[in-house]
Amino acid sequence: LVLVACGLGAILVIRLWNGTALDTTGEVAFANRLAIPPLAQSRLDERGRRIFELTAEESSHDFGGQRVPTWGFNGEYLGPTLRANRGEQVVVNVHNGLAEPTTVHWHGMHLPATMDGGPHQPIPPGQTWSPTWKIDQPAATLWYHPHPHGETAQHVYRGLAGMFLLDDGQTALPSTYGVDDIPLIVQDKQFDDGRLDESKSVLGDVGVLGDTIAVNGVTGPYLEVSTSLVRLRLLNASNARVYRFGLADDRDFQLVATDGGLLETPFTTNGIQLAPGERAEIVVGLRAGETAVLRSGPQDLGIGALGDRFVGGHDRLDILQLRAAPTLAPSAPVPGKLAEIARLDPKQAAQSRQFRVQARTINGRKMDMSRVDATVVKGTTELWTLTNNDGTPHSFHLHDVQFQVVKVGGSGPPPQLRGWKDTVFLRTGEPVQVIARFADYSDPNTPYMFHCHVLLHEDEGMMGQFVVVEPGQQAGQVHSH
Ligand code: C2O
Ligand code: CU
């Protein structure tokens, strides 16, 4: 009996392994030209404010062979790229053309809580919400997406997401949008019966995992490159999947920026892991006439090779083919010094906090719209220790401010975690310590969020709220809507 049980167990394990160990190497035809999200039109009003218009609407979209119902901003799927300069005052008129409430959150943006677009700023159907704020942070690849309480996974999966690029004066990096500076919104999709399948993965604990990769809403994409260096702005806008991006031939590239902006110096590597919500800018060198494939290789998610499979781990997923022209315009080399990053000092921290994520809770509590989980004093620095206490990967995202990673496990951060971050991957049992300064904005009555960016986890309660108050002030009354 024991033998039989073992045998069945082994067969089950093998079946699960084969069923979930995705490998698309050589199978993707790369027959569809990569779409570049259009730059959003904007105008300046009489006060010099830059005004954007976004409308969330129902539509349908052809991902490259099949047209399925989708949602999009100002179009079929995803949204235009918003772009603004440091120091500018922006206004975004967000119109909700859907049949249900939604919100739009500016992921990575430093701004007042009432402008943040989290669950406390719902936009009823047919209405327009017009947040305004001053761009006051370094150049970076940020993004925007809905954040309605309990519904974020669906709204993003159906197509509501876009990039928000910030500029900050001159750059020596490739910077011609759509030519040598390429936004890549990477998502995994599951197509079933002529629709996007939104159901949870059968085995996993992370929500929908698709077997098909779409980049900027295109499956099997290729990009024609005409310069010797190309800058790729990678955004993991997937609901749950974690990628480790690299080139199929394992060549080195230069990592130049992470979530909140440029690294101090480029980091030469052959792979960069991005959990949901994270971004990276990489500069890839190409030889004239060659093709190269951007691919996601095996990632160590920290729960063992088999366990990883159930939560979105994969062997190899082909992402994008780069087709270099027969002759390439020479690009300026990547500068050896990219930015100045003043290190925040843990000894100056006014407060240390622990956040343990486990089973759809943070510190044992599920999200409650009317509860304040942390009260932070404006202008102070805080040290937060983030621990993954269960056997599922999580990525921890903090609203309002960018943080610095102080420690991963017992050690200092690796080069890819030394820049500004707003989202960080948490391996099981490996605490990540981060430090942030909560400057500029306070509002005792309107919370910001912190949460897991695996969207099913967020929706099911792995989220908490903090308010920023003036010195001596108490947190006020926050309301559920
Ligand atoms: Cu990208 Cu609170 O989210
Ligand atoms: Cu999670």
Burial class for 233, CB neighbours closer than 10 Å (0-12, 13-18, 19+): buried
Inter-CA distances, 370 with 151, 233, 459, 479, Å = 18, 37, 16, 5
What pLDDT does residue 11 have? 43
What pLDDT does residue 203 have? 63
Question: What is the 454 CA–ligand 2 centroid distance (Å)?
Answer: 5
What pLDDT does residue 21 have? 65
Q: Which ligand sits nearest to residue 464's alpha carbon?
A: 1
Span 210-248, pLDDT tens digits: 999 999 999 999 999 999 999 999 999 999 999 999 999
Mean pLDDT score, 250-276 = 98
Give the number of the atom of ligand 1 that is nearest the alpha carbon of residue 463.
2
What pLDDT does residue 399 have? 98
CA angle 262, 116, 78 (to 5 degrees): 70
Q: Give the list of residues 6+ apart from residue 58 with CB closer than 8 angstroms, or none.
A: 69, 70, 71, 97, 98, 99
Q: Is the CB of 155 under 6 A from ligand 1?
A: no
Q: Is the CB of 149 under 6 A from ligand 1?
A: no
Give the number of the atom of ligand 1 that is nearest the alpha carbon of residue 105.
3
Question: What is the 399 CA–ligand 1 centroid distance (Å)?
Answer: 7
Q: Is the CB of 464 under 6 A from ligand 1?
A: no
pLDDT band at 306 (very low <50, low <70, confident <90, very high): low
Q: Which ligand sits nearest to residue 390's alpha carbon?
A: 2
Q: Is the CB of 449 under 6 A from ligand 1?
A: yes
**Under 8 Å between Cβ of 44 and 89:** no
pLDDT of 149 higher than 60:
yes
Give the number of the atom of ligand 1 that is nearest the alpha carbon of residue 423.
1
What pLDDT does residue 19 have? 45
Between 479 and 282, name the one with better pLDDT. Answer: 282
Q: Is the CB of 399 under 6 A from ligand 1?
A: yes
Q: Give the list of residues 6+ apart from residue 113 with CB closer than 8 angstroms, or none.
A: 120, 400, 441, 443, 446, 447, 448, 467, 468
Inter-CA distances, 375 with 402, 423, 442, 469, Å = 17, 20, 10, 7
Q: Is the CB of 279 under 6 A from ligand 1?
A: no
Measure the CA–CA gap between 241 and 269, rounded to whole angstroms. 21
**Under 8 Å between Cβ of 326 and 288:** yes
Span 328-343, pLDDT tens digits: 999 999 999 999 999 9
Q: Percent of the chain having pLDDT more than 90?
A: 85
pTM over 0.80: yes
Question: What is the 155 CA–ligand 2 centroid distance (Å)?
Answer: 18
| Phi, then psi, of 32 in degrees rounded to 5 | -115, 130
Q: Is the CB of 397 under 6 A from ligand 1?
A: yes
User: What CATH number matches the domain at 37-167, 3.40.50.2300, 3.40.50.620, 2.60.40.420, 3.40.50.360?
Assistant: 2.60.40.420
Q: Is the CB of 108 under 6 A from ligand 1?
A: no
Mean pLDDT score, 75-101 = 98
Question: What is the 472 CA–ligand 1 centroid distance (Å)?
Answer: 29
Q: Is the CB of 107 under 6 A from ligand 1?
A: yes
Structural domain 181-329, CATH architecture: Sandwich (2.60)
Distance of CA 408 to the CA centre of its chain: 20
Is 346-469 CATH 2.20.25.90? Answer: no
Give the number of the atom of ligand 1 that is nearest the alpha carbon of residue 277.
1
Q: Is the CB of 277 under 6 A from ligand 1?
A: yes
- In 3D, which of 60, 127, 131 has the Cα closest to residue 97? 127
Give 37-53 as a 3 state SS string: CCECCEEECCCCCEEEE
What pLDDT does residue 308 have? 74
Give the number of the atom of ligand 1 that is nearest the alpha carbon of residue 118.
2
Average pLDDT of the chain?
93
pLDDT of 262 higher than 90:
yes
Span 128-140, pLDDT tens digits: 999 999 999 999 9
**Under 8 Å between Cβ of 162 and 188:** no
Question: What is the 462 CA–ligand 2 centroid distance (Å)?
Answer: 7
Tell the residue nearest (CA) to atom 1 of ligand 1.
107
Give the chain as a 3 state SS string: CHHHHHHHHHHHHHHHHHHHCCECCCCCCCCEECCCCCECCEEECCCCCEEEEEEEEEEEEECCCCEEEEEEECCCCECCEEEEECCCEEEEEEEECCCCCECCEEECCCCCHHHCCCCCCCECCCCEECCEEECCCCCEEEEEECCCCCCHHHHHHCCCCEEEEEECCCCCCCCCECCCEEEEEEEEECEECCEECCCCCCCCCCCCCCCEEEECCEECEEEEEEECEEEEEEEECCCCCCEEEEECCCCCEEEEEECCEEEEEEEEECCEEECCCCEEEEEEECCCCCEEEEEECCCCCCCCHHHHHHCCCCCEEEEEEEEEEEEEECCCCCCCCCCCCCCCCHHHCCEEEEEEEECCEECCECCCCCCCCEEEECCCEEEEEEEECCCCCEEEEECCCCEEEEEECCECCCHHHCCCECEEEECECCCEEEEEECCCCCCCCCCEEEEECCHHHHHCCCEEEEEEECCCCCCCCCCCC
What pLDDT does residue 202 have? 61
Question: What is the 397 CA–ligand 1 centroid distance (Å)?
Answer: 6
Span 59-70, pLDDT tens digits: 999 999 889 999
Q: Is the CB of 231 under 6 A from ligand 1?
A: no
Q: Which ligand sits nearest to residue 242's alpha carbon?
A: 2
Tokens of 143: 């993004």
Span 29-71, pLDDT tens digits: 999 999 999 999 999 999 999 999 999 999 999 999 889 999 9
Q: Give the list of residues 6+ apart from residue 329 with CB closer than 8 angstroms, or none.
A: 226, 227, 228
What pLDDT does residue 481 have? 63
What pLDDT does residue 261 have? 98
pLDDT band at 302 (very low <50, low <70, confident <90, very high): confident
Measure the CA–CA gap between 80 and 72, rounded to whole angstroms. 9
Q: Is the CB of 147 under 6 A from ligand 1?
A: yes
pLDDT of 16 higher than 60:
no
What pLDDT does residue 48 have? 95
Question: What is the 316 CA–ligand 2 centroid distance (Å)?
Answer: 23
pLDDT of 446 higher than 60:
yes
Q: Is the CB of 120 under 6 A from ligand 1?
A: no
Residue entry with tokens 């993954």: 388
Domain with CATH 2.60.40.420 in the chain: 37-167, 181-329, 346-469
Tell the residue nearest (CA) to atom 3 of ligand 1.
107
Span 366-415, pLDDT tens digits: 999 999 999 999 999 999 999 999 888 899 999 999 999 999 999 999 99
pLDDT of 284 higher than 70:
yes
Question: What is the 307 CA–ligand 2 centroid distance (Å)?
Answer: 15
Measure the CA–CA gap between 76 and 59, rounded to whole angstroms. 5
Question: What is the 291 CA–ligand 1 centroid distance (Å)?
Answer: 35
What pLDDT does residue 13 have? 45
**Under 8 Å between Cβ of 285 and 228:** yes
Q: Which ligand sits nearest to residue 312's alpha carbon?
A: 2
Tokens of 11: 């067969």
